Chains A and B, each alone.
Chain A
Amino acid sequence: MKRDIIALSTAAALATVLLFVPMLSHGQESDADKAKAAKAAAKAKNIARALEENSRQLTLFDRQGKVIKVVGERAIYNQPSISPDLTRIAVIRQDLENETADLWVISIETGAGTKLTKSKSREPVRSPVWAPDSAWVAFAAQRDSYDGIYRVKADGSGTEELLYKLPGAGTVPTDWSLDGKYINYYVSQLGDNILYALPLEGDRKPVVVARSQSEIVAARLSPDSRFLGYRSNETGRNEVWVRAFDPANPDAPARKWQISDQGGLGMVWWRRDGRELYYFAADRGIMAVSVSTSPTLEFGKPKLLFKAPNTIPNGPNAAPGNLGSVSRDGERIVFSLPPAPRLQQLTMFDRTGKVVRTIGEPAQIGQPAFSPDGKKLAFVRNNIEAGNANIWTVDLENGKETQITNDSFPHNNPTWSPDGKHIAYQSNRGTYTSIYWRSSDGGPEEMLFRYTPGAGLGLTDFTPDGQHVLFDGGAILMAARLEGADPIARKAIEMSREEYEVGFGRVSPDGRYISYGSTESNNRIEIFIRPFDLAKAALADEGKVQATKDGPGGGNIWRNDGKEVFYARSEPGSEEVELKSVEVTPGPAVQVSEPKLLFKLRDVAGGNTKFISPDGQRFVFAIRQPAR
């Protein structure tokens, strides 16, 4: 029913917009007015679609997993938290229209919501925690360039009160002590993971509760403040731990207990009497652990209460704590339930946009990339149950699929080596993002290049001789020569580092040119083609040509004879993708034709991979399927 209301609201909003636009056109409307109206209509459409696909339903469960209540209207909610008196849910609600995220309190009985904060764009509120008397909610927010911990009355009266202006960043309040005197918060930076207690009386000088070299995410003190429950990756996997805590000597080595053994994602919630704690496991399980203190402290074996609905993301690196929490009495669990994810169908088109065939079954799938001989596709498939995304290939002749990667690391931008024997991809692992490859029939992983710690990269291509990989790094065109046996010793080559943004570098099949995206001409990404020194992986100073003027959104793919470059574009806010190409005439001064429209498509998902066959005759997209 609620879903129907949203659908109607969305339809009504769209209808309003669509009606509004023609009405305006009857008057003496200027071009500027028309453009403004079109922009507003496009924004309304985008918001409606984003709401339809992403809005979540606050849902209250009991310990057996039975739905007790569906609360309030659908919206984009995060970090729901049940009040200690069990009457309300504090939650962060995003406003797509104004691009803000504010704190709301929703009545469990009536579903009525009260907005407690009024934030500016880029100053989102986060991490609400309830006072033990349910009268206040504390939260973190950035205001005028500073992080702060604030509190506000839960009934909506009064204004927010700054409790502490923080010298650091990335602050996460986790709890309000049962005696009401402290708010705990943690700050997690490299080598600097600290849990603080902020006194609400006196000088409000934060006290260090715990400090750790490894992550101590989601740390919460037991009600008697003798133990600290937290999530840590110190074993190489996220698990839940408890350690003894001496407030007089918080940094002293302390006995600790590993609570979860099959992956624990946090958060840790203690029951009000301290006799039970709860956490989310890596398989969507909501786990309860009994705690006894007599005659000695003992933790029971984790017991599954129930498994969260499968629209809650899972896997070893998921953060279900953003979407759910456990009440103080341990009897209620609230989730902000996302809708079922839309699936995609790999679909092949010809140059006129006619469907040639579909490939495989609908799934969460994307980033299709043709092999150099055009006979196979590599793609990324998200396993919804396992919560990971791995690279697969499919043989286009017999439909046989082969899994290339099989682990929980992220894998993106599958890119075939020029000889078709390997598939490279980028993967972020801890501090590093690196480029790896495996043989195209699966096989051991080999690192090709590791980038600067903390820096992201986007793999875009190999040079045709296979001697370099090309990638984007911080809006710079980069390459790395695949020389020597030690990938860590390979250095990044800055091919183009500019005031404007450059990226998506792809070398022509003969190695004489590079095409890439750049914002230099009109603050939009346009495709440029430029002579290229294959041996040095260097851009020539002379001979640069701007190939497009209509703001491509992706593509930049060479036909295998080097005489055509394809790209995809769409009008801002439009769901329609235009597939276009330019003809390229090589020479000392490369020439490009006017862009030519090939066809238009809707509901396209994809990625910046080589989704066009080497001969330029086939186009494969992941086409989004109707909502389930």
Chain B
Amino acid sequence: MTPRLPARFALATPLVLAVSITATAHHNMSAIFDFNDRVTVSGTLTKIDWRNPHIEFLVDTKSASGDAETWKYEGPAPFFFRERSVGKPDFEVAIGKPVKVEASRARDGSRWGLLRQITLPGDKVVSACPQNC
């Protein structure tokens, strides 16, 4: 029920003046994604949108029957990654290359997921937890 309140961008001042721009959730994650339905997809990263309130990216893969399909993923806010020394360039250099994505699938059953973890080329693992877990 409670909106997930993820990464907070805050100035390093403790004062109660308004000192933060909060990258809050843009919608109710648990209403849209089923945290108990996890899917892992290996494919090619084709596109990223590195903007607030959350990043998005596309991965092309093939289904079990060999059909081409595209998965869309939603991740935390850019600040979440910045705080963990991960940036847009880490994802940009992976475009066109193989990645493995573990995500919570959308409740509507579409090929849409909430990122839990992505393995970039070079086995660089980027986790979106605890924000998305």
Interface residues of A (CB under 8 A from B): 46, 49-50, 122-123, 142, 145-147, 167-169, 188-192, 215, 366, 428, 430-431, 433, 452-456, 458, 472-476, 497-504, 517, 519, 523-525, 551, 553-555, 568-575, 577, 604-608
Contacts and interface: CB of A to CB of B under 8 A. Distances in A.
A167 B35 contact: yes
A190 B1 contact: yes
Chain A binding surface SS class? loop
A499 B91 CA distance: 14
Interface in B11-27: 11-19, 21-27
Interface in B78-110: 78-79, 82, 88
Contact of A604 (B5, B16, B52, B78): B16
A42 to B, nearest CB: 8
B88 A475 contact: no
- Majority-rule SS of B interface residues: loop
Given A455-B27, A499-B51, A475 B9 contact: yes
Interface of B: 1, 3-5, 9, 11-19, 21-31, 35-36, 38, 50-54, 77-79, 82, 88, 116-117, 127, 129-130, 133
Given A497-B52, A572-B12, A573-B12, A472 B21 contact: yes
Contacts of B24: 455-456, 473-475
A444 to B, nearest CB: 27
B25 A454 contact: yes
Nearest to A50: B14
A188 B1 contact: yes
B14 A46 contact: yes
Nearest to A553: B19
B21 A502 contact: yes
Contacts of B77: 474-475, 501
B23 A474 contact: yes
B78 A500 contact: yes
A55 to B, nearest CB: 16
8 contacts: A146-B133, A190-B30, A433-B3, A455-B26, A475-B9, A523-B82, A570-B15, A606-B18
B36 A168 contact: yes
Given A215-B1, A430-B1, A455-B25, A475 B53 contact: yes
A210 B96 CA distance: 47
A145 B9 contact: no
A113 B122 CA distance: 45
Contacts of A458: 22
Contacts of A433: 3
A607 to B, nearest CB: 6
B28 A454 contact: yes
A501 B27 CA distance: 18
A188 to B, nearest CB: 7
B75 to A, nearest CB: 13
A608 B30 contact: no
A46 B13 CA distance: 9
A472 to B, nearest CB: 6
Contacts of B88: 499
Contact of A605 (B1, B4, B13, B16): B16
A330 B1 CA distance: 32
Nearest to A556: B18
Contacts of B15: 553-554, 570, 575, 577, 604-606
Interface centre among A145, A430, A500 (most CB of B within 10 A): A145
B21 A517 contact: yes
Nearest to A344: B16
A574 B19 CA distance: 13
Contacts of B18: 504, 553-554, 606-608
A553 B11 contact: yes
B28 A499 contact: no
A458 B77 CA distance: 17
Contacts of A145: 116-117, 127, 129-130, 133
A454 B21 contact: no
A249 B88 CA distance: 51
Contact of B30 (A189, A215, A503): A189
Given A167-B36, A431-B28, A453-B27, A554 B19 contact: yes
A249 to B, nearest CB: 22
A432 B36 CA distance: 24
Given A474-B25, A499-B78, A606 B17 contact: yes
B127 A606 contact: no
B53 A555 contact: no
Given A145-B116, A167-B35, A190-B30, 18 more contacts: A50-B14, A123-B130, A145-B117, A145-B133, A454-B4, A454-B27, A455-B27, A455-B28, A472-B21, A475-B21, A475-B53, A497-B51, A500-B52, A503-B21, A525-B11, A553-B13, A553-B15, A568-B17
A67 to B, nearest CB: 32
A122 B76 CA distance: 15
Contacts of B36: 167-168
Contacts of A50: 14
